[in-house]
Amino acid sequence: MVAAAGCSQTPGRGRARRNAVDACRTVPPGSRAATATEPPSHPRQTPDPGSRQKPNPDPLTPALRPYTKELDGQLYSVLSRKPNTSRKVAEWACAVCRTAPATVLDHCHEHGYVRAPVCQSCNTQERPDHLYDNDVRVANHYTRLFHTDTDTWLRHWHRCTGCRARTTLPLPHLAAWTAHTACRPLRPTHRASRGRKPCGVLRVSWTGSYSAPHSCLLTVAVDFCPSGEHRVLAQVPYREAAERFRAWLAETAPAVAAAAGPDRLDGLPAQFRPVIVDTSGEDLELF
């Protein structure tokens, strides 16, 4: 019985083995191993060493366009009231440094004309350091305005039609130039560890206004003298300061001087524009 039972199971197992062997023989050599051990392969893309992927520019950030005198001769009081003026200003690059986006319309407060759109940094650099309305501290930043980068700033200030016609600067800038440049030889010095050091801090004040040049007087003085003195270096009439500036301008920036003067401009008003009051509340757009 046992042998019969064992014999009855043997043919079935043998047939199963033979079927498995026959199935393996029908597969081409090497295919079964590849199917069992290798995952499906995908073609690998080899990067081109000569090609670099450049970052896509932000389509929402438009390129700044250079300022090319589009606002020459226009009044700040008119442009500041037009809609979308701030948005249009932001489309320009700063007319002074030419790299940063413009944020404000720099303008002359004596004549009311727009100079150019400028960035906040450049607008702050050229702003007078007022102690009072008629008093300016002549700090170190005037060295950049009247010495190292003077050609750039003179061209910018003379974008004002009134200053260019009169071949001068706004009164606070003219007063600062008088103290910084014209009266430089009058400034006393003191002994220091390395040679001699200029005395104290320059300050210039004025009486009257540019609209009455015959009565306007500039007073150049020195504050914080180490010896405790308060010195008045010079008192210069407005007309004399303006004449000194014109002579200095012709020598320092002849191209700017050649483009200035009433005979270089057409359509000048019979009277110069009054001072345009800055109503921004932050006093960041003066001069």
Pairing mode, strands 196-198 and 231-237? unpaired
All structural domains of the chain with their residue ranges: 76-264
Q: Which residue has the higher pLDDT, 69 or 272?
A: 69
Average pLDDT over the chain reads 78
Q: Which residues contact 211 (CB under 8 A, 6 or more apart)?
A: 272
Residue 17: CB atoms within 10 A of its CB come to 10
| Per-residue b or e along 164-184, where b marks 16 or more CB atoms closer than 10 Å to that residue's CB | bbbbbbbbbbbbbbbbbbbbe
Report d(CA 102, CA 83) in Å as an integer.
Answer: 17
Residue 188: CB atoms within 10 A of its CB come to 14
The pLDDT of residue 254 is above 80 = yes
- CA 241 distance to own-chain centroid: 31
Q: Is the pTM of this model over 0.85?
A: no
> What pLDDT is stored for residue 160 in this prediction?
95
pLDDT tier, 103 (very low <50, low <70, confident <90, very high otherwise): very high
Report d(CA 171, CA 239) in Å as an integer.
Answer: 11
Indicate the helix (H) or strand (E) that contains 88: helix 85-89
Contact yes or no for 75/273 (Cβ under 8 A): yes
Strand partners, 202: 138, 222
Report d(CA 50, CA 156) in Å as an integer.
Answer: 46
> What pLDDT is stored for residue 229 in this prediction?
66
Record the tokens describing residue 57, joined without a space.
């520019």
> What pLDDT is stored for residue 193 in this prediction?
81
**16 in helix, strand or coil?**
helix
The residue-averaged pLDDT of 102-109 equals 94
> What pLDDT is stored for residue 281 in this prediction?
42
Report d(CA 202, CA 72) in Å as an integer.
Answer: 34
